[in-house]
Structure 1
Amino acid sequence: MERQKQNIVIAGGGSTYTAGIVTMLLDNYDNFPIASIKLYDNLEERQTRVAKACEIIVKERHPDIVFTYTTDPVEAFKGVDFVMAQLRVGLFAMRELDEKIPFKHGVVGQETCGPGGIAYGLRTIGPLIEIIDYMEKYSPNAWMLNYSNPAAIVAEACRILRPDARVINICDMPVCLEEIFARILGLNSRKDFDVRYYGLNHFGWWTQIRDHQGNDLMPRLMEYVREHGYEEYTPQGQHKESSWLETMRAAKDLYAMDPTKLWNTYLKYYLMAPETVAHSDHDYTRANEIMDRREKDTREECERIVAAGTAKGTWFASNEHAQFIVDLACALAFNTKERFLLIVPNNGAIANFPDDAMVEIPCIVSKDQYEPLSIGKIPTFQKGLMEQQIASEKLAVEAWIEGSYQKLWQSFMMNKSVPSAKIAKEILDDMIEANKEFWPELH
Structure 2
Amino acid sequence: MKKNSVLIAGGGSTYTAGIVMMLIENRDQFPLRKLKFYDIDEQRQKIVADACAIIVRERAPEIEFAATCDPEEAFTDVDFVMAHIRAGGLPMREKDEKIPMRYGVLGQETCGPGGMAYGMRSIPAVIQLIDYMEQYSPKAWLLNYSNPASIVAEATRALRPDSKIINICDMPVAIKKSFADILGMKDTDIVERYYGLNHFGWWTELYDKDGNDLMPRLKNHVKKWGYGPAGDACGNPLLADRSWLDTFRKVKDVYAVDPDTLPNTYLKYYLYSDYVAAHTNPEYTRANEVMDGREKTVFSECRRIARNGTAKDTSLESGEHAEFIVRLARALAYNTYERMLLIVPNNGAISNVDPTAMVEIPCIVSKRGYEPLCIGTIPNFQKGMIEQQVACEKLVVEAYREKSYQKLWQALTLSKTVPSAGVAKQILDDLIEENREYWPELK
User: What TM-score results when the alignment is normalised by the length of structure 2?
Assistant: 0.98
Q: Which residue is equivalent to 1:401? A: 401
Q: What does 1:199-348 align with in structure 2 at a 5 Å threshold?
A: 199-232=196-229, 233-236=233-236, 240-348=240-348
Count of aligned positions:
440
Q: Which residue is equivalent to 1:350? A: 350
CA apart distance, 1:238: 8.1
Separation (CA, whole Å) in 2 of partners of 1:341 and 1:117: 21
Measured against aligned partners, the alpha-carbon deviations of 1:86-124 in whole angstroms (never above 9, x if no partner) come to 010111000000000011110010000000000001101
Separation (CA, whole Å) in 2 of partners of 1:64 and 1:178: 34
Q: Which residue is equivalent to 1:20? A: 18
Q: Which residue is equivalent to 1:37? A: 35
Q: Which residue is equivalent to 1:360? A: 360
The answer to whether the Cα contact below 8 Å between 1:231 and 1:237 also exists between their aligned partners in 2 is no
Q: Does 1:386 align with 2:383?
A: no
Distance change in 2, residues 1:194/1:274 (3 Å): same
Distance change in 2, residues 1:289/1:381 (3 Å): same
Q: Does 1:439 align with 2:429?
A: no
Q: Which residue is equivalent to 1:371? A: 371
Alignment partner for residue 71 of structure 1, among 69, 72, 92?
Answer: 69
Separation (CA, whole Å) in 2 of partners of 1:83 and 1:325: 10
The answer to whether the Cα contact below 8 Å between 1:333 and 1:368 also exists between their aligned partners in 2 is no
Alignment partner for residue 99 of structure 1, among 97, 100, 107?
Answer: 97
Measured against aligned partners, the alpha-carbon deviations of 1:332-390 in whole angstroms (never above 9, x if no partner) come to 00011111100000000001011100000000001131100000000000000111000
CA apart distance, 1:235: 2.6
Separation (CA, whole Å) in 2 of partners of 1:231 and 1:283: 26
Q: What does 1:116-265 align with in structure 2 at a 5 Å threshold?
A: 116-188=114-186, 190-232=187-229, 233-236=233-236, 240-265=240-265
The answer to whether the Cα contact below 8 Å between 1:43 and 1:71 also exists between their aligned partners in 2 is yes
Separation (CA, whole Å) in 2 of partners of 1:369 and 1:19: 27
Separation (CA, whole Å) in 2 of partners of 1:333 and 1:115: 38
Distance change in 2, residues 1:385/1:90 (3 Å): same
Measured against aligned partners, the alpha-carbon deviations of 1:116-161 in whole angstroms (never above 9, x if no partner) come to 0000011011011111001011111100000100000000000010
Separation (CA, whole Å) in 2 of partners of 1:319 and 1:134: 28
The answer to whether the Cα contact below 8 Å between 1:145 and 1:167 also exists between their aligned partners in 2 is yes
The answer to whether the Cα contact below 8 Å between 1:346 and 1:358 also exists between their aligned partners in 2 is yes
User: The residue matched to 2:35 in structure 1 has which SS?
Assistant: strand
The answer to whether the Cα contact below 8 Å between 1:337 and 1:365 also exists between their aligned partners in 2 is yes
Separation (CA, whole Å) in 2 of partners of 1:121 and 1:41: 19
Task: Report sequence identity in percent.
Answer: 62
CA apart distance, 1:234: 2.9
Separation (CA, whole Å) in 2 of partners of 1:365 and 1:235: 31
User: The residue matched to 1:362 in structure 2 has which SS?
Assistant: strand
What amino acid is aligned across from residue 305 of structure 2 in structure 1? I
Measured against aligned partners, the alpha-carbon deviations of 1:208-234 in whole angstroms (never above 9, x if no partner) come to 011111111111111100110011233
Unaligned regions of 5+ residues in structure 1, if any? none
The answer to whether the Cα contact below 8 Å between 1:255 and 1:261 also exists between their aligned partners in 2 is yes
Unaligned regions of 5+ residues in structure 2, if any? none
CA RMSD of aligned residues (A): 0.8
User: The residue matched to 1:235 in structure 2 has which SS?
Assistant: coil
What amino acid is aligned across from residue 285 of structure 2 in structure 1? T
The answer to whether the Cα contact below 8 Å between 2:105 and 2:273 also exists between their aligned partners in 1 is yes
Separation (CA, whole Å) in 1 of partners of 2:368 and 2:434: 40
User: The residue matched to 2:240 in structure 1 has which SS?
Assistant: coil
Q: Which residue is equivalent to 1:11? A: 9
After TM superposition, the runs of 4+ consecutive aligned structure 1 residues lying more than 4 A away are: none
Separation (CA, whole Å) in 2 of partners of 1:292 and 1:15: 15
The answer to whether the Cα contact below 8 Å between 1:206 and 1:262 also exists between their aligned partners in 2 is yes
Q: Is the deviation greater in 238-247 or in 351-360?
A: 238-247
Measured against aligned partners, the alpha-carbon deviations of 1:66-85 in whole angstroms (never above 9, x if no partner) come to 00000000000001000000
